[in-house]
Structure formats: C-alpha cells, structure tokens
Structure 1
Amino acid sequence: MDDIPENTVVSIDRVEVRVVPGVLDYAIGNKAAIEQNWRNELAANPGLFNGELYLAPKAYIENGVLHAGFIRSRYETLLFWRRDPRMFRPWHIFSVGVVVSADNRLIAARMAMHNASGGRIYFPAGSIDDNDIADGMVDYDANNRREVQEETGLDLSHARPEAKIHLVTGNRSIALFRRYRFVDDAATLICRIREHLAGQDDPELDQIIEVSGPGQMGEATPSYVRAFADWHFSEA
C-alpha cells in the first residue's frame, strides 16, 4: 500500500479483510504510552468507551481486491495511533457510506463535540467492531448500513449501492468509500436526518452539510475525505 500516493482515489472491486489471531505488536510496543494517552483522553472526554478495535499490520491490493489481516485491539490503541507521528504504524481500514442525493449532492455532517473527533466533518463512517465480523471476515457493507442508520436514520436498503469501492489512503488510514444513490433530493434527505437527530438525547452529529461541488470541504475535513469528494464531482 505504501506505493499508492496519499489522497489519491483508487477504484477496486472487492475487499477481503480477515481477522487473524494474536496480539498487535504495535499495542505491545507502545503499551505505557497508550495507557497514559487514554487517561488523558478520558480526562478530557469522560464519555469515551474503550471498546474493541481492529488494525492491520499489512495490506495490499491484488487483481482489484484489497487484502489485509486484522488483529483485535482496543479503542485506546487507535486514539494513541492518531497522535503518533511515525509513519510505520498498522493500517486503520474502515468503510465510508457516502449518501448521494438525486440531485448529486453528497451529505456530510459535523461530529458533535462529545465525540473523540468532535468538530470534524465526515461522511458517515466508523471503525470496525465485533458486530461487523462474520465467519472471520469483515462485512463492510453491514458496517455501512449500521453507521449510516445510527448517525443519520437513513436506510441504505432504500438506495442503490455502487458496484465499485473507491479506496483512499491518508496518514496510515485506508478509507473505503462506497456511494449509495437515493431517489430523494438533498433537501428531503437532510430534513429526514434532522428529524432523526431531534429524536436523540445525545446525537453523534450537530450539523448536516450539503456538498454540491469540488473544493467545498475545508480544513475541518480530513484530507482523504476532501480528496474523494473532489474526485466525485470531477468524475461525475
């Protein structure tokens, strides 16, 4: 994967990420620093939960398929990993369910401040947990359905999924973007999402953002997400 330039869209046909046994070397080698960082993170945001988290020491693309082996760790590992400036870290591989309206708008959102990524702007996404594992393989489509439903209330079964997956790397992350095209326009979808958020005591999102062209997602959005959004409009 290191030969793929960061923030470059690469289209693939399939993803095969398998859970492998063992303990993540990265977690062992940085145990004390991970624990100290977790204490700091928890002091700043007591609502954080140290659930399961998967990272991949190696990943590669062969014949249009992304292959990787996931090793189970904890969320505290990812929070330290995010702050670790070293490039030789395991890969964080996650899927992004991109909601595309009938009028070709992308629906993004700002994370509420009680999240670890509070203030950042993303498309619906989340790290893989045990609920996304079936027969030892990661089910990224199921992850997309769950994350989009939880965050926005939208049901991806009512949208047309794109066959291809679009991969973008950035800072040792591998984001797997899949577009889901709805028959409703952006205004209708945003209204539904706001109704969903209004019914939650502690919503994950605090602002819904309609993206209608390249260059509209600013510094609050990770570079790999901006790269995909700009590519979407240039490709369309």
Structure 2
Amino acid sequence: MSFNLPPNMILPVDEIDVRLDPTPHPFERDNADAIAAGWKEYSAANPALFDGTMVLLSALTYDDGRLRGVSHAVRYSTFLHWRRHSDTPDAHHAFAHAMPVSGDGALVAIRMAPHTLNAGKVYFAAGSFEPEDFVDGQVDMHRNMAREVAEETGLDLDAAQAEQRHHLISTPGGVVIFRRYHFTETADVLAAGARAYIMADAHPEISEPVVIRDAAERPEGLMPYMPALIDWHFSNA
C-alpha cells in the first residue's frame, strides 16, 4: 500500500487507472468499534447524515502523468472516522471536481446547504466516488462528475466541452482530481438554471450557486484547496 503524491502541487493527469478491490478496506476492518462509536456521535449531532456506501483508497501513486490506485467500498461512517485520522498510512480519500466554465470565462461553484456535513463551504459540485462510478472495476471519472453535478445543480456536463486532460492536487483532506468543462452559456444563465433547480428540490444539498469571475475573488467559505484551483484556472485560460 502506498501514497506518493507530493502535497499541494497541481499536477497534470493523462492516464487514470483506479480500480475497485472487492475485499474489505483494512482501515474499516481494523477500526470497526471506533467507527461505530464515532457514527453515534456524528448522527446525534446531525440526524440528516446517512451512512451510505462510498469508496476509500488503500493505494494511490502518481508517475509522469499516470495516476494508479486501489479503492474499496466502505461505509460513510468509515470515511468520517478517517477524517479524524487522515494521517493513517494505509488509507486516503479522493474525489473528482468538474469545474464548470461559462462562455464568458467565469467559474460556477456551489455553497453547501446548512444541513450537510460541509455546511456553508464553497467548492465545485462534487461527491465521493461510489461503487456505481466503477465500470468493470475501473473508475469512470466523467460518470462520477456528471452524476454529482446533475444531482446538485441540474447542469448537464454532456452539454459542455470537456478538456482532454485532468489535473490533481493532493491535500490533507484528500486528493482532488479536477477537469474543466466549457459551457457556451454565460455565468448568469448557468447560475440562474442552477438556482431554479435548487428551488424545485425539496431537500437540496446546496444553498446557492457561486460565480467566480476572476482570480481576485475569494467568496466566503472557500474550501482550503479552492484558491489554488481558482488561481490555476485564471492563469491557464
């Protein structure tokens, strides 16, 4: 088991080979009692949380644009326990960010709803990988990104032009794998569509779209890694 990604550096990714291992994750297996106790605490504080299934990495390596890894299906409660012990050597988290770019060059991010774990935080619509994001055991990045963006904002990534290359940044909270998707619509039009979608949802995961028009903009509540992504976008237009 290994993780060799340099921290806080944006790196290009041309090949992704992250596979789903059907065996239990050692971190979940070896910490069952602590995970159960932690879940009681989390769910008591926020009854809206759901102990669903997601994936957690047991290995992730980067070499000359190639990203390779092994992941396992775990419970959400296992991930929450990992967040408290993210320095463990045998487990790590990764998630994919589609970066919606409007026709007028802005970024369209989101602010999480008050009932969510990341209440008030601003980042791009995203969610952890789930077993359904793997096809024949191999992760499908676009499948995950498109599902999460559609579920949270109603925007259709298939209607946008995806850049060929992914990028990543490794942070203490997880590895962010991101890719720009270029829409023809202006930021105002995209934001209005997302806002209408949120208003029609009885239990929305986000409270509002957040438009970022230049590198100097720093909306309140930005996740720690977001300034690096914003700066990268506007310096690589």
- Give the shorter-chain TM-score range: over 0.9
Contact 2:17–2:68 under 8 Å retained in 1:
yes
* CA deviation after TM superposition for structure 1 residue 90, in Å: 1.2
CA distance in 2 between partners of 1:86 and 1:113 (Å): 28
After TM superposition, the structure 1 = structure 2 runs for residues 85-124 of structure 1, keeping only pairs within 5 Å, are 86=87, 88-124=89-125
CA distance in 2 between partners of 1:24 and 1:219 (Å): 36
Change (3 A) 1:225 1:88: farther
Q: TM-score, normalised by structure 2?
A: 0.93
Change (3 A) 1:172 1:190: closer
Moved more, 152-161 or 19-28: 19-28
Contact 1:108–1:209 under 8 Å retained in 2:
yes
CA distance in 2 between partners of 1:105 and 1:162 (Å): 16
Residue 64 (1) aligns with residue 65 (2): yes
Partner of 2:136: 135
What do the CA deviations read for 1:114-159 (whole angstroms, capped 9, x no partner)? 1111111110110111221211111110111111111110111110
Partner of 1:176: 177
Partner of 2:157: 156
Partner of 1:19: 20
What do the CA deviations read for 1:187-217 (whole angstroms, capped 9, x no partner)? 1110111111111111111122111222433
Structure 2: tracts of 5 or more residues without a match: none
SS in 1 for 2:12: strand
Partner of 1:34: 35
CA distance in 2 between partners of 1:207 and 1:149 (Å): 14
* CA deviation after TM superposition for structure 1 residue 234, in Å: 1.7
* Structure 1 outlier segments of 4+, above 3 Å: 1-5
CA distance in 1 between partners of 2:181 and 2:131 (Å): 24
Change (3 A) 1:30 1:219: farther
- Residue 217 of structure 1 aligns to which amino acid in structure 2? R
Contact 1:57–1:90 under 8 Å retained in 2:
yes
Moved more, 159-168 or 54-63: 54-63
Residue 188 (1) aligns with residue 189 (2): yes
* CA deviation after TM superposition for structure 1 residue 3, in Å: 5.1
SS in 1 for 2:196: helix
Contact 1:154–1:193 under 8 Å retained in 2:
yes
SS in 1 for 2:181: strand
CA distance in 1 between partners of 2:152 and 2:77 (Å): 22
Q: TM-score, normalised by structure 1?
A: 0.94
* CA deviation after TM superposition for structure 1 residue 225, in Å: 2.4
Partner of 1:147: 148
SS in 1 for 2:58: coil
Equivalences, count = 236
CA distance in 1 between partners of 2:77 and 2:42 (Å): 9
CA distance in 2 between partners of 1:170 and 1:158 (Å): 30
Contact 1:60–1:68 under 8 Å retained in 2:
yes
Change (3 A) 1:96 1:185: same
Structure 1: tracts of 5 or more residues without a match: none
Partner of 1:50: 51
